[in-house]
A and B are shown apart, each in its own frame.
Chain A
């Protein structure tokens, strides 16, 4: 009995459809709450080549929803840990882990090696980067995003359809908190991720009624499901294409209209007169016990200005370098000087410290 028998006996798939699945290369951005179910179903379905890009490491608060990981994966890079688990699920396909950050510099070259891109990232900067890179490389994008008990799913840039920017032209200026700041019900990421995997398979099998040109909004509490029509804006897409020569030179931060330079923490490690500030939520790991750190979650920053030492250099970090930028912007707006945004996330900082000793 073939591994894919239950696919093949479906008249919509057959051996021919299964061959199409085996000949497709899919890149999944992020191996988190959405990435895990996406990867699980795509691997089981027999996608020929699956790429996984994620710079983050598994921590214990991920296990509530990131179902590819277990206690034995704690501390491991998510792309690597996911690959390890998925190889056991299906050893007949090729799985490539990229344990690094997706950037404007590496996105185009990476996307060019795949047929379909799936966005399971957790921040607007990456989502707009992924969208624009899909426009430039002309790849279909299967989009999914979560807010608490709600999810959005769509297919962008497919068969001349609209892009994410046709729906939301620019990243929001205010803050929209992510899952680690506000919480998410684990099963919701499973539902939305599985829907994304389903759209990927419909694209490969050329089945009708993909979510191209439509945004599906799902509410797990009310069980309401709305499908809204999105119109294409040729002007927005042409604007991205016109600027493609400069794409690789862009910085993640420019996209969110925040003008802050990130620097390495290394230059501060041996200095006095420094206050290290961790703007992650209290539960986030790893903690940097090696340094004297003041912990103030980003949301509580404005109410805790008394904890900030005006005379010292404020060296601000978080999990990935996104919230630290927002923190520096907030402090600049409050005219608090000598604030530095650290480009490394907490895990990288810990590694740097250990490598020095």
Chain B
């Protein structure tokens, strides 16, 4: 299926994209992340949370959504 992935903060700086769409046939979100890690090497070094269809989920969650977001924490103020 086609999945849209949204990137925020430092993650978007690594991918150089705000979002992209990928064809992906895996079953878990963690499998999608493996694909992204191979595409963007330094992504592995960053802490982030994952949202699926606008809901934050664990990476062991089954991939059911059409929209995934990678969300790093911000500290600035």
Binding site for B on A (CB under 8 A): 30, 32-35, 119-124, 127, 144-148, 150-152, 167-168, 171-174, 176, 178-179, 182, 184, 189, 215, 217, 219, 222, 224, 226-231
In the bound complex, CA of A117 to CA of B71 (Å)? 24
Q: 7 new A-B pairs (CB below 8 Å) besides A168-B49, A219-B18?
A: A30-B77, A147-B9, A167-B56, A171-B73, A172-B73, A224-B18, A226-B69
Whether B54 pairs with A32 at a CB distance below 8 angstroms is no
* Chain B min CB distance to A117 (Å): 14
B77-A189 in contact (CB<8A): yes
Which B residues are CB-close (under 8 A) to A120?
A: 77
Contacts of B76 in A (CB 8 A): 33, 122, 145-148, 178-179, 182, 184
B77 near A35: Cβ-Cβ < 8 Å = yes
Shortest CB-to-CB span from A8 to chain B, Å, is: 32
> What distance in Å separates the Cβ of A310 from its nearest Cβ neighbour in chain B?
29
| Docked complex Cα distance between A217 and B53 (Å) | 14
> CB-CB contacts of B1-19 with A at 8 A, as 1s and 0s?
0000010111000000010
B76–chain A nearest beta-carbon distance, Å? 4
Query: Measured between alpha carbons, how far is A114 from B51 in the docked complex, in Å?
Result: 33
Using A150-B8, A172-B47, A228-B69 as known contacts, say yes or no to A121 and B56 having CB atoms under 8 A apart. no
In the complex, whether B75 has a CB less than 8 A from a CB of chain A is yes
In this complex, how many residues of chain B approach chain A with their Cβ under 8 Å: the count is 21
> For A30, what are the chain B residues with a Cβ–Cβ distance below 8 Å?
77
Contacts of B77 in A (CB 8 A): 30, 32-35, 119-122, 144-146, 178-179, 189
Near A by CB (< 8 A), chain B positions 1-52 give: 6, 8-10, 18, 45-47, 49, 51
Distance in angstroms between the alpha carbons of A144 and B74 in the assembled complex = 9
Give the distance in Å from the alpha carbon of A127 to the alpha carbon of B73 in the complex: 11
Tell me how far the C-beta of A231 lies from the nearest C-beta in chain B, rounded to whole angstroms.
7
What residues make up the interface of B, taking CB atoms closer than 8 Å to A? 6, 8-10, 18, 45-47, 49, 51, 54-56, 69, 71-77
| Chain A residues with CB below 8 A from B45, complex form | 174
B74 to chain A, nearest CB (A): 4
Q: Could you list some 26 contacts between A and B, CB below 8 A? A: A30-B77, A32-B77, A122-B75, A145-B73, A145-B75, A146-B76, A147-B10, A147-B75, A150-B8, A150-B74, A167-B56, A171-B73, A172-B72, A174-B46, A179-B77, A182-B76, A215-B56, A217-B8, A219-B8, A219-B18, A226-B69, A227-B54, A228-B51, A229-B54, A229-B56, A231-B56
Measured in the bound complex, the distance between the Cα atoms of B8 and A234 in whole Å is 27
B20: min CB distance to chain A, Å:
14
Q: Are A178's CB and B75's CB within 8 A?
A: yes
Which residues of the other chain, B, contact A224 by a CB distance below 8 angstroms? Answer: 18
**A122 CB contacts on chain B under 8 angstroms:** 75-77
Nearest-CB residue, chain B, relative to A122: B77
Residues of A within 8 A of B56 (CB): 167, 215, 228-231
Within 8 Å CB of A215, what residues of B? Answer: 56, 71
Q: Which residue of B lies closest to A172 (CB)?
A: B47
> In whole angstroms, how far apart are the Cα atoms of A124 and B69 in the complex?
22
Query: Which of these, A33, A173, A176, contacts B74 with CB under 8 Å?
Result: A176
Per the bound structure, the CA–CA distance linking A152 and B75 in Å amounts to 9
CB-contact partner of A173 in B47, B51, B71, B75, under 8 A:
B47
* Chain B residues near A179 (CB-CB < 8 A): 76-77
Query: What's the minimum C-beta distance from B14 to chain A, rounded to whole angstroms?
Result: 12
A227–B75 Cα distance when bound, in Å, is 19
CA distance A176 to B75 in the complex (A): 7
Q: Are B9 and A150 in contact (CB under 8 A)?
A: yes
Q: Given the complex, which residues of B lie within 8 Å of A217, measured CB to CB?
A: 8, 71
Q: How far is the CA of A197 from the CA of B3 in the complex (A)?
A: 36
